[in-house]
Amino acid sequence: MKCIIKRRAKFSASHRYWLPELSEAENVQKFGACTRSPGHGHNYVLYVYMAGELDEYGMVLNLSDVKHIIKREITSQLDFSYLNDAWLEFQETLPTTENMARVIWQRLAPHLPIVRIQLFEQPELWADYLGKEMEAYLSIATHFSAAHRLARPDLSYEKNCEIYGKCARPNGHGHNYHLEVTVKGEIDPRTGMTVDLGDLQKAIDDYVVEPFDHTFLNKDIPYFAKVVPTAENIAVHIRDLLQEPIRELGAELFKVKLVESPNNSCEVYGTQLEKSLSNGKLSEQVLVRI
């Protein structure tokens, strides 16, 4: 029986975004505060996903062996390092989150049956790499607070209460929504970026966070005047709002995840991915829980 296992590791390191072929003004315009010398640091969290058949001892791999390989090949070399100088790869392509995930894959692949590398630069920013050349997935997490009422205007109050329960009460109720946006793109061979992080954050803020934050969704967002603002419908609307702006940035919207409460969340995917899913053409690799 085939299983996927995951091993967690941590390291702390610093890096700087700076291209010597650009002027200081050009670097600052492209990378902002990340250009400041001598760099800035993060507490990185790394997840290594591995697949294989169960052996006679009920294991895919001996996790003690996995731990030592990750330490030898990755964390012992990167912990408390200046990433730009730590590995030759980071002198050729800047050590962005997504490029680091790609290079870590390359370093571990000869030793472990990896199917996915996930690297968190911080809790609100992480990258996934699945071994497909320069393609990577970059995720941003953010939040907004809003109220809503679940009720169809064409139904009676009694019928809405039957369908939506307490959520149909006239004055509505609120949530602190947690939003995750994942984009897919090619890693630039020089900058290491799939998309400009500042531009991506601005698009999410402009099209979602600022319009939605501290609103009564049913009344303040025109789309929800006729569409019940369930978590599912909110996520679909966010996807539709973001697809074109993200495409204009040179990436593809892969997934929107909306957490309404600790007990309730949903995920919707970009329309191209939905078509692949419905046609049964999506590779098993991509379905490893991005």
Active-site annotation, residues: 167, 214, 260
* Residue 150, number of CB atoms within 10 A of its CB: 21
- Total residue length of the chain: 290
Nearest Cα to 51, choosing from 5, 118, 108?
5
Q: Cβ contacts of residue 134 below 8 Å, gap of 6+?
A: 102, 186, 187, 189
Please tell me what DSSP assigns to residue 288.
S
Nearest Cα to 218, choosing from 164, 154, 142, 153?
153
d(CA 140, CA 204): 9
Q: Cβ contacts of residue 49 below 8 Å, gap of 6+?
A: 4, 5, 6, 114, 115, 116, 117, 118, 288
Q: Cβ contacts of residue 212 below 8 Å, gap of 6+?
A: 144, 146, 177, 221
Nearest Cα to 201, choosing from 193, 192, 189, 209?
209
d(CA 226, CA 151): 10
